[in-house]
Amino acid sequence: MKDSSTLPRRHVLVGSAAALSALGLAGWTGSAGAQQAAAVTKPLPAYAGWKSSDALIVHSSGTLETRRSAFGTSVITPSNQLYVRNNLPAPDAAILDNRDAWSVTVEGVKNPRSLTLAELKTLGVETVATVLQCSGNGRGFFPSKPSGTPWSVGAAGCVVWSGVPLRNVVAALGGLTDGAAYLTGTGGEKLPEGVDPLSVLVERSVPVKAMDDALLAWEMNGEPLSLAHGGPLRLVVPGYQGVNNIKYVKRVAFTSAQSQARIMSHGYRMSPPGSKASPDQPSVWEMGVKSWINGPLPDKGALKPGQVQVHGVAFGGTRGIKGVEVSVDGGKTWQAAKLIGPDLGPFAWRQFALPVRLEAGTHVLASRATDTAGNVQAEQREENLGGYNNASWRDHAVTVTVA
Ligand SMILES: Nc1nc2c(c(=O)[nH]1)N[C@H]1C(S)=C(S)[C@@H](COP(=O)(O)O)O[C@H]1N2
Ligand SMILES: [Mo]
């Protein structure tokens, strides 16, 4: 299947569930849709074999995307439908055999040392709902076709973490040393041989203020953290882009400078188009305000004229959501949607819904969120080399047909 978007719609009705959604996706991701349709035939990788294949698009063994049609109207994304992004092969599952024996080294505190997961569990526990989103989510909408996975909307989910607040750990180790400007987390993957470790190491730095909300988490959605999502232990930095949430975390350091790892110095930078990535460009840290519609979607075929519930998700990084507006005329006019379901705090997403009557014809449905600080979701993406931080409401609009 090279370009499924050229198939007539009646083929959608006879296709498999997987192909069906892929065809629908092709309708709103343009050129990226074709690549997603091609990827759909790949099986789930072994470390994520427990996931729902119907709910996911397998781009590669390290990149699984939640289908737009799989996001329901509940707040929490079920673990088996959550996207996965692994920059390196996942560690051996044996690291989960004795979870409590996993250890993490803490540096940049008065009394630096290693702590086991068993010890961490004695220092406190908190639970927090956060949006986990890859900064490349929405890259598939960039006409410039940046290299990297052409994610549509599904490199994101909202999940609940349990773990020890990082500030408790710091307090137990005597507090921060002077000059701590960054919180640096290091992933515990085995690095490939024969290459400069800094070129592959997953190590990220965020401003030290992120410590106030950060957790060392061992549980996600009420279950011990899976290997796919960073078990036995993960650094969770609420409100920050996915890459800063270090899986299999083996070292946490409070440092005066940012990590020298390539993924920090050159990767995940907001590099202007035509430039070269460099450490002086902004890194992808806090998430901005963003929303998108998850229903109705074009992949269900033509709608009947009448009332529909336009629904979707909205989040505001560290600031939470004040409100969401919906447009059914491509952004000419807007109506306030209702925030529905439980509010799980500033880092979670809110579900929204708006009942509208749609007559026969073609309708462009869009959503536009406002965070609690009054920032309004932008119409246009910020062009950049890597295709990061796409929050454009126009890019995320969907076109539905009523007949
Ligand atoms: N150790 C480690 N942590 C990591 C990564 C990784 O490859 N290794 N990928 C990062 C990226 S780019 C993203 S978007 C998120 C993905 O989290 P998930 O796979 O649990 O959805 O994890 C981040 N943390
Ligand atoms: Mo990512």
CB atoms within 10 A of CB 197: 12
Residue 117 CA to residue 393 CA, distance in Å, equals 42
Matching residue, tokens 């920090």? 264
CA-136 nearest atom, ligand 1: 14
Q: What is the pLDDT of residues 290-324, one digit of tens each?
A: 999 999 999 877 899 999 999 999 999 999 999 99
- The stretch 322-339 carries a mean pLDDT of 98
Q: Output the CA angle 58-59-64, nearest 5 degrees.
A: 55
Ligand nearest to the CA of 246: 1
Residue 7 pLDDT level (bands cut at 50, 70, 90): very low
User: How many angstroms does the Cα of residue 343 sit away from the middle of ligand 2?
Assistant: 25
**Ligand 1 near 227 CB (within 6 A):** no
pLDDT attached to residue 127: 98
**Ligand 1 near 117 CB (within 6 A):** no
User: How many angstroms does the Cα of residue 389 sit away from the middle of ligand 2?
Assistant: 11
Residue 155 CA to residue 385 CA, distance in Å, equals 19
pLDDT attached to residue 302: 82
283 DSSP 8-state letter: B
- The stretch 98-104 carries a mean pLDDT of 98
* CB of 335 closer than 8 Å to CB of 353: no
* Phi, psi of 64, rounded to the nearest 5 degrees: -115, 130
- Name the nearest CA neighbour of 335 among 359, 313, 373, 365: 365
pLDDT attached to residue 41: 62
pLDDT exceeds cutoff 90 at 14: no
Report the percentage of the chain scoring pLDDT > 90. 89
**Ligand 1 near 397 CB (within 6 A):** no
User: How many angstroms does the Cα of residue 242 sit away from the middle of ligand 1?
Assistant: 6
pLDDT exceeds cutoff 70 at 204: yes
User: How many angstroms does the Cα of residue 32 sit away from the middle of ligand 2?
Assistant: 17
Pocket test for ligand 1, best of 200, 245, 284, 287 (most atoms within 8 A of CB): 245
Residue 47 CA to residue 32 CA, distance in Å, equals 26
